[in-house]
Amino acid sequence: MLTLPRIESLFASHGTAWYGGEAISQTAHALQCAQLAEQAREPEPLIVAAFLHDVGHLMLAESSTTDMRHQEAAADALSELFGPDVTEPIRLHVAAKRYLCAVDAGYFGALSEASVHSLALQGGPYDTAQASAFAAAPYAEAAIRLRRYDDLAKVIDLATPPLAHYLDMAARCVRLAA
C-alpha cells in the first residue's frame, strides 16, 4: 500500500528520471497530466488519477523487475488509499490507448515515437471484440479522458502547479478508514 508521504518520496527519489523515452521527467509529465485534467474541470478523483497514473513506473524503479504493467502495480498499490474512481482509470489507461488505436483512425498517427514503441510492448491496438469489451467496462470513459491528457502531457518546460497542489488534492480524495 502507498501513503501520501510515500508517494511524495517516490517523486523525490525517481521523479527526475526521463518519462518513457520522452524529453520530459516523470514528475513534469505527472504534473502536466493533472493540470490538463484540472483545466478541463474534471472531478478531483480523475485529476488525482491523472497525477498518479504512472506512479507504478516510480515504484518499479525501486525493484529489479522488468514488468511493463505499471498501471496494475499503481492501481493495486493505491487501492487501499483511494476508491475505484481514482484507481480504475489508472488501471485502464494503457487499455484506453489500445482502444483508441482501434476505434480512432487519427489517434495512432498522433502518438509520439516512444508511445508507439510502448504500444507494441503493451499488445498493440485492440481487435473489434476487445474494443467492444473495453468500451463496456466501468470507468472506460474516465480512462479514455485520462489517456488523452496523458498523451498531451509532454511539453518541455511547461509551467504547472507544484507537486504539493496535487498531493493536497489527493489527500481530499483519500477514502476514510472504515
For residue 34, give the CATH number of its domain. 1.10.3210.10
Identify which of 121, 109, 15, 30 has the alpha carbon closest to the alpha carbon of residue 69.
Answer: 121
Show the domain range for 83.
4-173
Count how many residues are written for the chain: 178
Per the CB < 8 A criterion, the answer to whether 94 and 56 are in contact is: no
Residue 65 pLDDT:
54
Ramachandran area for residue 24 (φ above 0: left; ψ -120 to 50: alpha; else beta)? beta
- Does residue 151 lie in a domain region? yes
- Does residue 178 lie in a domain region? no
Residue 117 pLDDT:
85
Q: What is the mean pLDDT of each run of 10 residues along the chain (178 residues)?
A: 89 80 86 98 97 87 63 85 95 94 92 85 92 97 96 93 97 73
pTM of the model: 0.91
- Does residue 23 lie in a domain region? yes
Residue 68 pLDDT:
60
- Does residue 77 lie in a domain region? yes
- Does residue 61 lie in a domain region? yes
- Does residue 60 lie in a domain region? yes
For cell 511493463, the residue is 68
The total of structural domains in the chain comes to 1
